[in-house]
Amino acid sequence: MSARLAVDVCIIGGGIAGCASAVALRKAGLTAAVLDRGLCGAGASGVNFGGVRQQGRNLHELPLARRSRRIWDSLAAILEQDVEFDVSGHIKLARSEADLAELETYARNARDYGLDLQMLGANRVRSEIPWLGDKVIGASLSPEDGQANPRVVGPAFARLARRLGAEIHEHRRVTAARRTETGFEVEAGDLTVASAWLVNTAGVFGGTVAGWFGEHAPVEALMPNMLVTEPLPYFVSRSIGVCGGDVYLRQTGRGNVIFGGGRGWGDAEIARSRPLADESLGGMSRTLDLVPALTNAQVIRTWTGIDGQTPDRIPVIGHSSTTPQLVHAFGFSGHGFQLGPVMGEIIAELVTQGRTPTPIAPFSIERFAAGGVASSVEAHTHTEH
């Protein structure tokens, strides 16, 4: 039996950005429906590393990240859900003089955005993190960064959206969306949604959805490969990354150490992904080089998930270049978790006011219009988590 639904805003993709948009739109008095191919918050929003990190982001992302960080402070209260947000700080390690120079330059630039980073010399790093191996010669600390449990955030946004009156439709894969005289018509199985606005938070499918409206945005599947140990005595006091991005780790309050290792396998079309053994073992080796204390720890689970990655590793955010009342927010390239909460507010601003006070010009979909990455966007080549 087919059903029809009419709302002000139809949102394709029930990740954190999509569900947070539904929340913000309901608060602004609009009706909204979220369509997700699976369960809300179970995709890239739910299976990522769990870093709530500003440090190391592409500088263009910092205004978004700064604004989102303020939301994180009250996120548990907003969602009525413990999200295990721990302001552990994020420390980025240098293993060479070039690394150190990169960190210093970044810290100087970040200050322009109000992000205060502290440079730590070798001795200071060693006294702060005595269990680090001997390859670290310095670091940059972002005290207000931290970590959270990604599995619960997206679903909690979905529940809040539902409590506020949004329509949440799970296991509804959108197969087509088109512009009509009055707005949009979106088909998801036996459900057709008519809306005045359309929000594209479709993650790895964001480029496909954009394509339905004659826009080009190259998005490829990104499968970060991750591992988690059995609970260990607490010792990883900070969330940790390195210049180059090939090692990252954190320890949950329960003691499990989560760390990354390369890339997994995935097929977005059939929604299947798998961690890869060789990648996991490589991740072990690199992490062990940095953290010898993990010797003997037992890995109890490995996993991956499918995110959408753009060529320049920054998302597409903003109005469509071809279609009025279509808004994009996808391609977060493996580091969208921290940004998720603010995306709801920004999308609602774009819908209700036509613009947002947060600078988003660098994320315009038009940068791909000529078929290549616009040179004005300085690609920050390493994906971090």
Partner 1 sequence: MTAAADAPLFHRLASRAGPLVSFTIDGAPATAQAGDLLMTAILLNRPALRRFEFGEAHRAGFCFMAACQDCWVTLADGGRVRACTTLVRNGMAVLIDGDARV
Partner 2 sequence: MSDPVIAIVGAGPAGLRAAETLALAGLRPVLFDEAERPGGQIYRQPPPGAERPGAAIYGLEAGKAQAVHAILPTLGERIDHRAGTLVWNVFEGRLDTLRAGAFAHQPFDRLILATGAMDRVIPFPGWTTPGVFTLGGAQIALKAQGVSIGRRVAFVGAGPLLPLVAHQYAKAGAEVVAVLDVTPFGAKLRSAAGMLAQPSTLAKGLYYVARNALGRARRASGVRAIRVEGEGRVAALAWTDHKGAEHRVACDAVGASFGLRSESQLADLAGCTFAFDALTRQWAPVRAPDGRSSREDVFLAGDGAGIGGADVAELQGRRVALTVLQDVGRPVDVAEVARLDSALARQAQFRAALEGAYPYPEHLVAAVADDEILCRCEGVTAGALRDVVRHKGAAEVNRVKAFTRIGMGRCQGRVCGHAAAELVALERGCPVEDAGRLRGQPPVKPIPVLGGFS
Chain residues binding partner 2 by CB under 8 A are 39, 42, 46, 151-152, 155, 159, 229-230, 254, 265, 274-278, 280-282, 284-289, 294-303
255 binds partner 1 (CB under 8 A): yes
Nearest residue (CB) to partner 1, 123 versus 295: 295
Helix (H, G, I), strand (E, B) or coil at 309: strand
CA distance 324 to 209: 15
Minimum distance, C-beta of residue 286 to partner 1, in the bound complex (Å) = 20
Which among 377, 219, 222, 223 has a CA at the least distance from the CA of 311?
A: 219
Minimum distance, C-beta of residue 74 to partner 2, in the bound complex (Å) = 20
Is residue 334 exposed (0-12), middle (13-18) or buried (19+ Cβ within 10 Å)?
A: buried
116 binds partner 1 (CB under 8 A): no
CA distance 280 to 277: 5
Nearest residue (CB) to partner 2, 212 versus 248: 248
From the list partner 2, partner 1, none, which binds 255 (C-beta under 5 to 8 Å, kind-based)? partner 1
With contact defined as beta carbons under 8 Å apart, do 52 and 85 qualify?
Answer: yes
From the list partner 2, partner 1, none, which binds 288 (C-beta under 5 to 8 Å, kind-based)? partner 2
228 binds partner 1 (CB under 8 A): no
Helix (H, G, I), strand (E, B) or coil at 349: helix
From the list partner 1, partner 2, none, which binds 233 (C-beta under 5 to 8 Å, kind-based)? partner 1
**Bridge pairing between strands 326-330 and 316-319:** antiparallel
297 binds partner 1 (CB under 8 A): yes
- By CB under 8 A, which span of 55-63, 159-167, 289-297, 335-343 interacts with partner 1? 289-297
295 binds partner 1 (CB under 8 A): yes
Which of 97, 116, 190, 230 contacts partner 1 by CB under 8 A?
A: 230
Question: Which H/E stretch holds residue 70?
Answer: helix 62-79
130 binds partner 1 (CB under 8 A): no
Nearest residue (CB) to partner 1, 98 versus 300: 300
Burial pattern 53-90, b for ≥16 Cβ within 10 A else e, equals: bbbbbbebbbbbbbbbbebbeebbebbebebbbbbbbb
Unique residue bearing structure tokens 């980073």: 117
231 binds partner 1 (CB under 8 A): yes
Q: What is the DSSP letter of 325?
A: T
Which of 2, 123, 298, 376 contacts partner 1 by CB under 8 A?
A: 298
From the list partner 2, partner 1, none, which binds 119 (C-beta under 5 to 8 Å, kind-based)? none
